[in-house]
Amino acid sequence: MTKRTFGVIGLAVMGENLALNVESRGFPIAVYNRTSSKTKEFMEQRAKGKDVKDAYSLEEFVQILERPRKVLVMVKAGNPVDKVIEQLKPLLEPGDMIIDGGNSLYEDTERRTQELEATGLGFVGMGVSGGEEGALHGPSLMPGGTETAYKELEPILTKIAAQVNDGPCVTYIGPGGAGHYVKMVHNGIEYGDMQLIAEAYDLLKNVLGLDHKQLHEVFAEWNTTDELNSFLIEITADIFKYVDPETKKPLVELILDAAGQKGTGRWTVVSSLELGVPIPTMYAAVNARVISAYKQERLAASEQLPGPTAKFNGDVKAFINKIRDALYCSKMCSYAQGMALLSKASEEFNYNLDLGETARIWKGGCIIRAGFLDKIKSAFQENPKLPNLLLAPEFKQSILDRQEAWREVLMVANQFGIPVPAFSASLDYFDSYRRTQLPQNLTQAQRDYFGAHTYERTDKEGVFHTEWAQVSE
C-alpha cells in the first residue's frame, strides 16, 4: 500500500467532510477516530470505494502516513485537542506537523505552537469556516502557526479551499495563534451580521406588517444588490419561504426565540476589551442572544411593562429601502470594528496580518461570504495603513449618502418600542468616531474628583489634579 499523504483524526461532522474533500482532490488519506465504531461506519458508508485507509490505533495511523506527516486534528475544542496532541507527540518525528482545524481559543493555539515547535514538530492552528457544506466542497481556511509547515501543506490547502475569482480562500495568516484569532473575529463579525439581519426582519414584520412571502421577496431582492449580496441574506430569503409541512405555517415563526451562543462571539468581545478596541455592534449581538434566552422572564415582564403603541402611516416601499440602507450602514460599522480589532491584535501579538488578504479569503466558502468583502479587500490593498474602514473613500461616501435613512429607521424603531441593539450600536459607533468632542471631559473630571486620577487640559500641557470639593465660584 502506498503511504498516505494526509491524515485526519476525528470523524464527526467537520472531520468526515474535510477528509472527503481532501480525498476528492487526489490525495490518499488515512483516518482515525477515538471510537472505532465511528471509523467503521465511515468506511462502510461515505468512504466506500474512496482512497481512504482506516486505522484503529494512533500507532497504526502514524505508520501509514508519508513523511513529513501531515495530521489534521478535528476534535472538540479545548481539552480533547491537548489529549490528542499528547498521544501523538511521542509517535511523530521532527518535521512532522499537526493541524488543529477546530474552533480553538487563540491563546491555547499560541501555547501549543510554542510547545510543539520546541520539539521540532510543526503546529498549524487553522480556522475553518463554512460548516458541513463548506468543509466538503470548499471552506475558507485561516491557517497560522509554523510557517514552514504551512508551506508543506499549501498544495493541499489551496486545492481543498473555496475558489473565488482572485484565488483560493486560504493564505498563511501569521505566527502562533494568528489563524485562530482571525477565525474568532470572523465569527464575531458573523454574530454581528446575523443580529443586524434579525433586526431588519423585526422592523419589516412588526413596523410594516410584511408577511412571509413579502419578507422572502425583500431579502431575495436585497441579495441582488452590490451592497448586501451575501450568503446570510440568501439563506434568510430561503428561510422565509419554508412552510412547515405539518402546520402549513412558516417554520421560522414556530421556532423558539431563544438563541444560543458558543465560545467565539464571547471570546471576540473579551479580546476587544483586553486590547481596548471598541466593537459595540458585535457586543450588542452577543447580548441580544443572551437576553433572548431569558424567555420565561421576558414573558412575565411583558405583562407588566407595556411598550408604546404606534401605527405606520408612511410609504411602505420607501421605508423598506431605508431599512436596507440602515442595514448596510450598520454592517459597514460592524466590519470597521472587526478590521480595527484585527489591526490592533496584529500589532500587539506581532501577527503581521494582511487585512486585504484576510478580506479576500472570506469572499468564498465561509458564513460571512459577501460581494462587499471585495471592497474591503481593495480598501486595505490601496491603503494597508487605513486607520478605519469608514475612512476608505468608497465606504465614507456610502455611509454619508445613507445616514439620514439610517437615523430615521432608528427613530421609528424607538417609537414602536422595537429593540435594535446592533443597528443602534453601529450608529453610536459612527457618531462617536466622527465627533470632535465627546463628553469624556466630564468623566475625567469625575475620576479626578473621587480618585485623584488626574486629567490633561486642552489649553495647556501637563497633568493636573484639582481638589474639586473646594468649589470655586
In this complex, which beta carbon is closest to ligand NBP, that of residue 53 or of residue 183? 183
Q: Select from 68, 95, 131, 278 the one that contacts ligand NBP (CB under 6 A).
A: 131
- Cα angle value 358/361/363 (rounded, 5°): 115
Stretch that binds ligand NBP, among 124-132, 211-219, 383-391, 463-471 (CB under 6 A): 124-132
Task: Note whether 38 binds ligand NBP by CB under 6 A.
Answer: yes
Q: What is the CA radius of gyration of the chain?
A: 25
In the residue annotation, 117 being an active-site residue is answered as no
Task: Note whether 35 binds ligand NBP by CB under 6 A.
Answer: yes
Taking alpha carbons only, the member of 121, 120, 122, 82 closest to residue 104 is 82
| Dihedral sign for Cα atoms in the order 312, 317, 318, 320 | positive
Letter string b/e over residues 449-460, b meaning 16 or more CB atoms within 10 A of that residue's CB: eeeeeebeeeee
Which amino acid, residue 250?
A: P
Which amino acid, residue 87?
A: Q
Q: Is omega for the bond preceding 155 within 30 degrees of 0, making it cis?
A: no
Q: Select from 24, 41, 77, 356 the one that contacts ligand NBP (CB under 6 A).
A: 77
Task: Note whether 365 binds ligand NBP by CB under 6 A.
Answer: no
Taking alpha carbons only, the member of 125, 58, 56 closest to residue 92 is 58
Residue 263: strand pairing partners: none
Active-site option among 53, 183, 331, 363: 183
DSSP string covering 254-267: GS-S-----HHHHH
Q: Which three cell numbers stand for residue 27?
A: 490525495
Q: CA 8, CA 20: separation in Å to the nearest integer?
A: 10
In the residue annotation, 183 being an active-site residue is answered as yes
Report the DSSP pairing between strands 70-73 and 6-9: parallel
To the nearest whole angstrom, how small is the minimum distance from the Cβ of residue 12 to ligand NBP?
3
- Do residues 164 and 231 touch, judged by C-beta distance below 8 A? no
- Do residues 80 and 266 touch, judged by C-beta distance below 8 A? no
Burial class (CB in 10 A: 0-12, 13-18, 19+), 4: buried
To the nearest whole angstrom, how small is the minimum distance from the Cβ of residue 87 to ligand NBP?
8
Q: CA 380, CA 376: separation in Å to the nearest integer?
A: 6
Task: Note whether 7 binds ligand NBP by CB under 6 A.
Answer: no
Task: Note whether 103 binds ligand NBP by CB under 6 A.
Answer: yes
Q: Select from 102, 143, 175, 421 the one that contacts ligand NBP (CB under 6 A).
A: 102
To the nearest whole angstrom, how small is the minimum distance from the Cβ of residue 32 to ligand NBP?
9
For residues 270 to 309, the per-residue mask of contacts with ligand NBP, x marking binding by CB under 6 A and - elsewhere, is ----------------------------------------
Taking alpha carbons only, the member of 77, 121, 85 closest to residue 103 is 77
Task: Note whether 177 binds ligand NBP by CB under 6 A.
Answer: no
Helix (H) / strand (E) element for 466: namely none
In this complex, which beta carbon is closest to ligand NBP, that of residue 131 or of residue 278? 131
Q: Select from 8, 71, 126, 128 the one that contacts ligand NBP (CB under 6 A).
A: 128
Task: Note whether 83 binds ligand NBP by CB under 6 A.
Answer: yes
Stretch that binds ligand NBP, among 68-76, 214-222, 318-326, 445-453 (CB under 6 A): 68-76
Q: Select from 10, 125, 188, 192 the one that contacts ligand NBP (CB under 6 A).
A: 10
To the nearest whole angstrom, how small is the minimum distance from the Cβ of residue 320 to ligand NBP?
32
- Total of chain residues touching ligand NBP, rule CB under 6 A: 22
Active-site option among 16, 23, 190, 227: 190
Task: Note whether 84 binds ligand NBP by CB under 6 A.
Answer: yes
To the nearest whole angstrom, how small is the minimum distance from the Cβ of residue 338 to ligand NBP?
18
Active site residues: 183, 190
Write out the residues near ligand NBP by the rule CB under 6 A.
Answer: 10-15, 33-35, 38, 74-77, 80, 83-84, 102-103, 128, 131-132
